[in-house]
Amino acid sequence: MASMKHDGLVSLFRNHPALAPELLKGPLGMELPSWAEIRVESPEFTQVVPTEYRADLVVLLRKGRPVLAIVVEVQLSRSTRKRKSWPVYLTTLRARMNCPAVLLVVAPDPAVAHWCAQPILLGHPGFVLQPLVAGPRSIPVLLGKREAGDSPELAVLSAMAHGQKPELAPGLFEAVASSSRGLAREQATFYLDLAFSSLGEAVRRVLESIMKSGEYEYQSEFFRKFVAQGMEKGMEKGLERGLKQGRQEGHLEGERQALIKVLEARGFAVEGTAQRRILACTERAQLERWLGQAVTAKSVQELFQRKPTPKRAGRSSSPRLKARSPRAKR
């Protein structure tokens, strides 16, 4: 089962697909073809092979036609099964898109990143897959407003990769907070939540020092209210309350955006009543059902058609035995 940290990392690339080519071209030094359009494609690989394979995310670079397909895989622990699937992802995606395909593994843990980077020998002479791994060594350390700039997703990725170092916590937190200012409240809260979960105990000391100094200006109305709660009722209780609210809002928004992206990737126009209905949905279970149906639905409208519920088996018509009254004493 995917964890919040895993889903959060995937959301960074889903919300900002350009993060994938940025990592490939920058820290990993890969030469990319020129491209004019970028979009998220379906991560399903069931069209060519009979066994179901599903990657975390597929980012497609286009210039009139597909020029490069990027398989994004988030890896938080070792998994031999996943390493066996990676070559399948690439060959299937290359055949489907008719363009080169590369594998980008995102592994914030240094030991896992080292393990993921090991070559995969496929048996055929010269046929060796060398995964491109974005780990702590290649993910840049973004500290403060200047280094983060307008890259909130990269700032969150930086915090998740380097957040266990207490001396970096103040700068990492400030980078995430400052770069998230222009985002919608739900998305900004979700990014802050991801950063908090990675910084651990260090973030409590960071927040305490920031609040005591009074030097940081909180732009988000939600965050100002959250900090006020922390100062009045205890920082730890305010933090838990704020994160719980942010986590719920962030998960719902992530499900809504994922559903729209999948439908658009399949060529459906999500607009009008359908778009309003998706964005207004506040039930996570319903969004997850729609997301599962979106992979095979023949139209957007098909998602909202209620399927007939099977009739329950009727109760047995045999009469119940009535309890006998106790016999009268003779």
Query: Mind listing the pLDDT tens digit for each residue in 67-85?
Result: 999 999 999 889 888 888 9
Co-location of 255 and 127 in the same domain: no
Residue 284 belongs to domain spanning: 248-298
Q: Cβ contacts of residue 269 below 8 Å, gap of 6+?
A: 300
Last residue of a domain, one of 87, 122, 139: 139
Domain final residue pick, 139, 163, 191: 139
Q: Which residues contact 235 (CB under 8 A, 6 or more apart)?
A: 204, 207, 208, 211
Give CA–CA dist 291/260, Å, rounded: 9
Residue 135 lies inside a defined structural domain of this protein: yes
pLDDT digits (tens, 9 = 90+) for 96-122: 899 999 999 999 899 999 999 999 998
Spans in the chain with pLDDT lower than 50: 1, 47-52, 211, 214-227, 229-239, 242-243, 246, 309, 313-330
Q: Cα separation of 280 and 263, whole Å? A: 17
- Within a domain: 111: yes
In the chain, which ranges are E strands? 37-41, 57-62, 66-74, 101-106, 120-121, 128-129, 132-134
Taking the C-alpha atoms of residue 206 and residue 225, their distance in angstroms, rounded to an integer, is 18
Task: Please identify, among 83, 114, 139, the residue that sits at the C-terminal boundary of a domain.
Answer: 139
Q: In Å, what is the CA distance from 318 to each residue of 27, 313, 314, 315, 321?
A: 74, 14, 12, 9, 9
Gyration radius of the chain's alpha carbons: 25
Does one domain contain both 134 and 17? yes
How many domains does the chain fold into? 2
Q: How many whole angstroms separate alpha carbon 194 and alpha carbon 258? A: 18
Encoded tokens for 224: 């100002």
Cβ(89)–Cβ(75) below 8 Å: no
pLDDT of res. 204: 54
**What pLDDT does residue 176 have?**
87
**126 and 2 share a domain?**
yes
Instruction: Determine the pLDDT at residue 317.
Output: 42
Distance between CA atoms of 298 and 146, rounded to whole angstroms?
A: 47
- Burial code of 277-312, b = ≥16 C-beta within 10 A, e = fewer? ebeeeeeeeebeebbebbeebeebeebeeeeeeeee
Contacts of 121 (CB under 8 A, 6+ apart): 128
Domain contains 85: yes
Strand partners, 74: 106
- In a domain, residue 150? The reply is no
123 and 254 together in one domain:
no
In a domain, 257, yes or no: yes
Is 145 inside any structural domain?
A: no
Could you tell me which of 328, 256, 263 has the C-alpha nearest to residue 294? 263
One domain, residues 4 and 132: yes
Report if residue 32 sits inside a domain.
yes
Residue 275, token pair as written in the block: 């778009």
Residue 44 falls inside a structural domain? yes
